[in-house]
Structure 1
Amino acid sequence: MDIIIAGAGKVGYNLARTLSPVHNVTVIDRNAEALHRLQESLDILPVHGDIEDPQTYRKLIDQEADLFIAVTNLDEANLISTLIVGDTIEVKRKFIRLRNDFFAKSGIREKLGITDAVFPLQLTSETVRSLFNYPRANNVKSFVYTPFKLISIRVSEGAEALPEELPANVALVGIEHKRELWIPQGWEPDRIESGDLLYFFGAVEGIRSLCPRIDTEAPGEIERCVVFGAGDLGITIASKLLEEGKDVKLVEKDPRQCELADEALEGEAMTLNCKYGTSTLFEEEGLGHAEMMIAATEDDEYNIIKCLEAREHGIRKVVAVNNEMEYYNLMHSLGIVVVRGPKVSTFHTIVEKIHSSRVVTERKYCGGKGVVLLRKVFPASRLIGREISPPKHREEALLFLLRQESLLPFEGLVSIEEGDVIAVFAPEASTEEMERWLNGL
């Protein structure tokens, strides 16, 4: 594909790095130094210019683009660029990153011909909110086409003996062991060790019944929460928690930001200033009585430190927002629940949308080490009534047929029915091969 990326910041760089090996990528930015760094390490076409200036796109006037992606930090610039680019060159699809969720409720996206919009603050805050329904989970992913979820749980040192069999309609689809993802071909509890992160897919109640046996350290319920960081993300997370009826305390270094947060949350959350440190704040304000702490600043190192400090003061579930991908493994190794930060969420979501087609939907898990591919059989599908077999070379991949409320192993010849969903769980290296098989059915 021919792809144009507007913005050479962290999101733009990571998108260019991921997409340029297999696509023709053009990156536009007015920061010449950022473009130079990109060009030194990646095979891209740099265009120096303002993404809001029509003259910038005249340099590409003879080109067509399969995809235009606007990912700067400014909503206005992203919106204007999607409008201007369409007047200059032919663009088939447009993706945009937006901070203000007002645009999610307005008709602006449709009027500008935007294919899809990504709202980073909402993505991260909704991920945090999902942990309240599954307090022992590390992460919860929902999918189109099925009520089944992908839920990860860390094995505690004091975990009970694991069951000989999994509940009905539940499958183990991944084990993260010492930073590596292993996709097992069955349930073998004797091979599971403390510290492993287990990925279960299937019926929610079945997975929920496993949680207290696997993670004995996390709280069974969460009512009191502490959020470190009262920036836009911290405020958004706090508002989601308040909607859930939780008791929320917000901790922030900047006195002015404390005032802004208090105003935005209308005084419903207690906002605490920690300008001179937090060592005494845990004792003085009773922060250690909370069941959960979320470190939501833009500094990953600070988030890690606050999580470790919170654990020392007795908070049983600690969550760190991950802004830099290189810190992901460190957070996991420390037993911290990791939530993708706004920029990391934007990157992963856009990549998933690009690689998803009209036929196959793609999601990543285990920090991008694993992939979930789904294909639904719609009423007019030519697959209805056909018998199909799994691919011959599937290595570590696991295949399932989701039929109504049942999770069925897809191991041999299967007759396809309307409404079926074919699900594939595979290591990232097998993504292309599995996509070809699903698309070619």
Structure 2
Amino acid sequence: MKILILGAGRVGASVAENLASEQNDITVVDTDATRLAALSERLDLQTVVGDALKPSVLRRADVDNADLMVACTASDALNLVACRLARTMFSVPLRIARVRSAEYADHPELLGEEGFCVDHLISPERSITQYFRRLIELPEALQVLDFADGRISVVTARAMLGSPLVRHAVGELQELMPDTDVRIVEIFRREKPIPVDARTQIEVDDEVVFVVDSRQARRVVRQFRQAEKSVHRVMIAGGGNIGLRLARKLAADNYSVRLIEYDRTRCELLASELPDNVLVLHGSATDEALLEQEGVADMDTWIAVTADDENNIMSSLLAKRLGARKVITLINRPAYGDLMQGSRIDVALSPAQITLSEILRYVRRGDVVAARRLRRGGPEVLEAVAHGDRRTSSVVGRELSALRLPSGAMIAAVVRDEHIFMADQNPVIEDGDHVIVFVPDRRQIARVEKLFQVSAAFF
């Protein structure tokens, strides 16, 4: 696929790095020549220095032959106008815009063919807010990803000392948790993936990735560690767009929220926009005296979402030391995020990685309706829709056990209307089924995509 990326910031660079490794033809446009040079030194891609709103610059980037354009510069206006330009002047088939402002998502008429010609709008703030809410709903989880309209969850949890599953084999799962639809697809031990089969034993501190019926997710995740009380009190560090959206959503769900913001003017704005059950505090999130005074030790969850990685990391480590039960930290720099894995910070999130997961679904071939990266960055979970019949499809009309998947890849679940089939039930795939596929290596993605493509006879 020929992909044109506008913007070489953290999101653009992350998208380029991940898609270039999958043998796509990538071109990145940015006004910063130094930033582009750094990208081209380590990745196999083309770069063009210039203003992405100038047709001459887009032509130099070979926009006429692009299959997909991803506009992810720091400017909402530039991203939107670039999509309209790509559609009206160059007929780019698929256009994605990253937009920070929530107002555009509330007015879809602005994005269609009569507006900015955006096929898919990606809002990092909205995605991150939803992600945080899922982690708060499942306080024992390290990662929660939803598929099939929320009916299937892919959850990562750490097996703690005293867990009912520790020292038991994966094959004993159904015996230990009868009447539960769950399958373990990956185990990380000492930060490295290990082969998983029915004889693999779960050990203390293993990070276990499992696929489960979302209605049973809470029951399963509690088997990996001592059940934690429900979250009620949340403290947020940072009153930017993400902090504001998150505080508003949590307040609407009747959580008790305290929000710390360093800028006094911003504090006044937040206080005027947020409901009464959100207490806005003026001060630094790394002020130990302030945290103690405001009861951080009583907080069920601490969430750091300032614009400064170092501030987020230090304030989270401080909150954990002072007694916060679970700390979640937003970290932009990939190196920092990797460093924090396995530290006192329970969950480290990368906005670029979350944005990338949204973009992946539109890059994947076949009818892939969702694609999500797991915590460790390599494995990916796809949701693909099966089409056709036994003659035109490589999957329809066949049992799961008969499918020829790449080594290590596995089908974890099949969703058919209101029915969920786990892989050990070995169902026959039917037209319209949503199939959840675990792929351990990005280099295998193309083979899985091809499996779900129908032959020309289907049309």
Alignment TM-score, normalising by the size of structure 2? 0.86
How far residue 79 of structure 1 moved from its aligned partner, in angstroms, is: 0.6
How far residue 16 of structure 1 moved from its aligned partner, in angstroms, is: 2.1
Equivalent in the alignment of 2:35: 34
- Listed as ranges, the matches of 1:356-371 within 5 Å are 356-358=365-367, 361-371=370-380
Residue 239 of structure 2 aligns to a residue whose secondary structure is coil
- C-alpha deviations, 1:209-262, integer Å up to 9, x for none? 23333222x732111110011122211211121121111111123323322322
Contact kept, 8 Å, 1:219 with 1:291, in 2: the verdict is no
Equivalent in the alignment of 2:287: 278
Equivalent in the alignment of 1:194: 204
Match of 1:206 among 204, 207, 216: 216
- Listed as ranges, the matches of 1:35-434 within 5 Å are 35-60=36-61, 63-106=64-107, 107-111=109-113, 112-144=116-148, 147-160=151-164, 162=166, 164-166=172-174, 167=177, 168-182=180-194, 184-186=196-198, 188=200, 191-216=201-226, 219-266=228-275, 268-275=277-284, 277-338=286-347, 340-358=349-367, 361-377=370-386, 382=392, 386-388=397-399, 389-392=401-404, 394-402=406-414, 404=416, 405-409=419-423, 415-429=428-442, 430-434=444-448
RMSD value over aligned CA atoms? Answer: 2.8
- Compared CA separation, residues 158 and 314, structure 1 to 2 (3 A): farther
- Compared CA separation, residues 71 and 336, structure 1 to 2 (3 A): same
- C-alpha deviations, 1:287-334, integer Å up to 9, x for none? 211111111123333322222222222211111113222233332211
Q: Distance in 2 between matches of 1:275 and 1:205?
A: 39
Contact kept, 8 Å, 1:225 with 1:248, in 2: the verdict is yes
- Compared CA separation, residues 394 and 379, structure 1 to 2 (3 A): closer
Match of 2:449 among 426, 435, 439: 435
- Please list every run of 5 or more consecutive structure 1 residues that lacks an aligned counterpart in the other structure: none
Query: Percent identity at matched positions?
Result: 26
Contact kept, 8 Å, 1:124 with 1:339, in 2: the verdict is no
Contact kept, 8 Å, 2:320 with 2:344, in 1: the verdict is no
Q: Distance in 2 between matches of 1:136 and 1:62?
A: 46
Alignment TM-score, normalising by the size of structure 1? 0.89
Residue 280 of structure 1 aligns to a residue whose secondary structure is helix
- Compared CA separation, residues 337 and 187, structure 1 to 2 (3 A): farther
* Aligned partner letter, 1:31: D
- Compared CA separation, residues 350 and 72, structure 1 to 2 (3 A): same
Residue 386 of structure 1 aligns to a residue whose secondary structure is coil
Q: Distance in 2 between matches of 1:372 and 1:324?
A: 23
Q: Distance in 1 between matches of 2:452 and 2:373?
A: 17
Q: Distance in 1 between matches of 2:309 and 2:39?
A: 24
Q: How many pairs were matched up? A: 437
- Please list every run of 5 or more consecutive structure 2 residues that lacks an aligned counterpart in the other structure: none
- Compared CA separation, residues 219 and 256, structure 1 to 2 (3 A): farther
- C-alpha deviations, 1:13-49, integer Å up to 9, x for none? 2222223351222222222222233333333332222
- C-alpha deviations, 1:323-378, integer Å up to 9, x for none? 22223333221153325343332233213431254356432223322122233335
Q: Distance in 1 between matches of 2:251 and 2:411?
A: 39
- C-alpha deviations, 1:59-100, integer Å up to 9, x for none? 457832111110011111111111123333231110110101
Q: Distance in 1 between matches of 2:294 and 2:77?
A: 40
Residue 27 of structure 1 aligns to a residue whose secondary structure is strand
* Aligned partner letter, 2:50: G
* Aligned partner letter, 1:236: R
Residue 104 of structure 2 aligns to a residue whose secondary structure is helix
- C-alpha deviations, 1:133-178, integer Å up to 9, x for none? 2222222111136712112211223434557433331111121222
Q: Distance in 2 between matches of 1:120 and 1:269?
A: 23
* Aligned partner letter, 2:223: R
How far residue 277 of structure 1 moved from its aligned partner, in angstroms, is: 4.5
